[in-house]
Chains A and B, each alone.
Chain A
Amino acid sequence: MAENSIDPEKWVDRYADYLFNYTIVRVNDREVANDIVSETFLAGLNSMKNFKGEATERTWLISILKRKIIDHYRRINSNKGQAEVKMNFPDSENEGEWLEEKVLDPSHRNAEDQMENQELGLAILKCMEQLNEKQARIFKMKTIEGLDTETICNELNISPSNLWVIIHRARTTLAQCLEKNWF
């Protein structure tokens, strides 16, 4: 069996948050980010035969995502008729590189801090993939969306003490996962 398998049915559950977070920091627009993420999943579906199993599914999807983000900026630039982009970078390959630098490295417009925070956010989301579905869902509702305990309990039909045990298990896993690089 190949080391890394591919399973599109699980993509949204597994990677949507990660890809979304990666994108929104770079495009700053929720609708645009949603478009780019769903285009990435579609492109993944269409090129599944190119998946060699050398990289993990996530790495592979991110490489598609990066191209989509660059495409997005290319479109914006050409819509604005920014000829100077082409003038300075007549060679299409160089243009690509230039865009890549600008787009994929958030540090050009923000402080270094923000880049570290972005990296941290992605590390947390990656660690969240270790949680089971229920833990991940409840942890996300409580911690990232900041929902009331009561709201979550009603929606998922669990007791508060049940919720806290699940949250606690999720936090233990996350702390362990992040400990090596971030504590």
Chain B
Amino acid sequence: MNLKSLLGLNCDEAATACSKAQYKETSLREKLKLRLHLFFCKPCKEYSKKNQKLSLLIKKAKIQTCSEVEKEAYRQRMNNAGSHASKR
């Protein structure tokens, strides 16, 4: 572990950097440190593979969600219905 930390990142930091890398937002410096860490650390390498797979699945799924505004409209309609019901 110490050797790896000396190389620049401990496993926690490497794992977080790995998630950041999924969004292509790691700096060059971070990227190099991560690559070095993954070269020496098998568990992190495994984790990195899973993380990439997750990115792939998310991309493939083309998920469509509703916005906060739309959710607020749902809540509004539910509240209105609720208050009408209780008046009766």
Q: Interface stretch among B1-9, B35-43, B58-66?
A: B58-66
Q: With CB as the reference atom, state the residue of chain B lying closest to A13.
A: B71
Report the nearest A residue to B54, measured CB to CB.
Answer: A175
Q: In the complex, what distance in Å separates the CA atom of A124 from the CA atom of B71?
A: 19
CB-CB < 8 A to A120: which residues of B? 57, 60-61
B residues less than 8 Å from A62 (CB atoms):
none
Residue contact A16 to B66, C-beta cutoff 8 Å: yes
> Which secondary structure dominates where chain B touches chain A?
helix
- A168 vs B54: C-alpha distance when bound (angstroms): 12
Report A-chain residues with C-beta under 8 Å of the C-beta of B51: 171, 175
In contact, B78 and A42 (Cβ under 8 angstroms): yes
The smallest beta-carbon distance between A129 and chain B, in angstroms, is: 13
A125 adjacent to B63 (CB under 8 Å): yes
Interface size class of B (residues with CB under 8 A): 20 to 34
| Minimum C-beta distance from B59 to chain A (A) | 10
A13 and B74 alpha carbons, distance in the complex (Å)? 10
State whether A8 touches B78 (Cβ < 8 A): yes
Q: Is A37 an interface residue (CB 8 A)?
A: yes
Q: Is the CB–CB distance between B81 and A143 below 8 Å? A: no
A12 touches B74 (CB 8 A): yes
Residue pair B15, A168 in contact (C-beta under 8 Å): yes
Q: A34-B70, A183-B53 are in contact. List 11 more A-B contacts (CB 8 A).
A: A16-B70, A17-B63, A24-B64, A37-B66, A117-B60, A125-B63, A143-B23, A165-B16, A167-B23, A171-B51, A179-B50
| Chain B contacts to A: CB under 8 angstroms | 15-16, 18-20, 22-23, 25, 50-51, 53-54, 57-58, 60-66, 70-71, 73-75, 77-78, 81-82, 85
Q: Top 3 closest A-B pairs, CB basis?
A: A121-B61, A168-B19, A17-B65
